[in-house]
């Protein structure tokens, strides 16, 4: 194995085999995977192309089933499971209201869903398209148009989400209308 050293490697490692120097020609041996890792790698190699998208869809389905069965719109704010941030500080977390918003989306009540978590409702069509295009490509080889989101747009969305998280916790009107 040939190791390429940058122009400053000799200086960083000690020019004459000092305390930080690598032994000449030393390479780490490949680590043998443990039994569980070998099992996972074998299962992955033998799994059909559609298995991973189906598993992801199953996880999304379980989340939807949880929202439908738990009916978070009629539970107490401190009912289990509860948000640890809300329980300890009384503040709404960045995702607070998301489960209720999902419940309302699943019941086709978009205004109520947006009232509980507008950014969640706004991002759902984008997340759905990203999943469909990924799963279609992975499972069936479909080449759907990709949703290209620049790092600036992602950064802007995260900044907006952070601002929303702060503003919804301010104790003055009109911000108190954002409490969930």
Give 164: exposed, middle or buried? Use CB within 10 Å, 0-12, 13-18, 19+.
middle
**DSSP collapsed to 3 states, 138-152:** HHHCCCCCCCCCCHH
Q: What is the pLDDT of residue 146?
A: 81
Closest by CA position to 10, among listed 19, 26, 21, 24: 21
Question: For residues 121 and 129, is the Cβ–Cβ distance under 8 A?
Answer: no
- CA separation for the pair 5, 123 (Å, rounded): 45
Task: Please count the CA atoms within 13 angstroms of the CA of 110 that sit on its side-chain side.
Answer: 6
Q: What is the pLDDT of residue 8?
A: 47
Q: What is the pLDDT of residue 70?
A: 79
Query: Per the omega criterion (within 30 degrees of 0), is the bond before 81 cis?
Result: yes
Residues in the chain where the model's pLDDT stays below 70: 1-23, 75-82, 178-180
Task: Please count the CA atoms within 13 angstroms of the CA of 44 that sit on its side-chain side.
Answer: 6
Q: What is the pLDDT of residue 9?
A: 46
Q: What is the pLDDT of residue 129?
A: 92
Closest by CA position to 54, among listed 141, 136, 129: 136
Q: What is the pLDDT of residue 18?
A: 57
Q: What is the pLDDT of residue 21?
A: 65
- CA separation for the pair 85, 92 (Å, rounded): 7
Report which secondary-structure segment, H or E, holds 123.
helix 110-140
């Amino acid at each position: 194995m040939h190791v390429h050293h940058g122009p400053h490697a000799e200086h960083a490692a000690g020019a004459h085999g000092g305390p930080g120097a690598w032994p000449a020609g030393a390479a780490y041996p490949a680590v043998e995977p443990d039994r569980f890792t070998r099992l996972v790698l074998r299962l992955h190699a033998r799994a059909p192309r559609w298995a991973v998208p189906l598993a992801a869809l199953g996880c999304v389905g379980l989340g939807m089933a949880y929202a439908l069965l738990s009916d978070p719109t009629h539970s107490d704010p401190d009912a289990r499971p509860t948000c640890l941030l809300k329980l300890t500080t009384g503040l709404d977390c960045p995702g607070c209201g998301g489960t209720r918003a999902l419940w309302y989306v699943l019941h086709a009540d978009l205004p109520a869903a947006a009232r509980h978590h507008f950014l969640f409702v706004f991002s759902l069509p984008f997340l759905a398209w990203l999943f469909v295009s990924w799963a279609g490509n992975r499972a069936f080889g479909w080449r759907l148009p990709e949703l290209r989101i620049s790092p600036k747009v992602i950064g802007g969305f995260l900044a907006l989400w952070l601002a929303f998280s702060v503003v919804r916790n301010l104790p003055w009107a009109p911000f108190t209308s954002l409490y969930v």
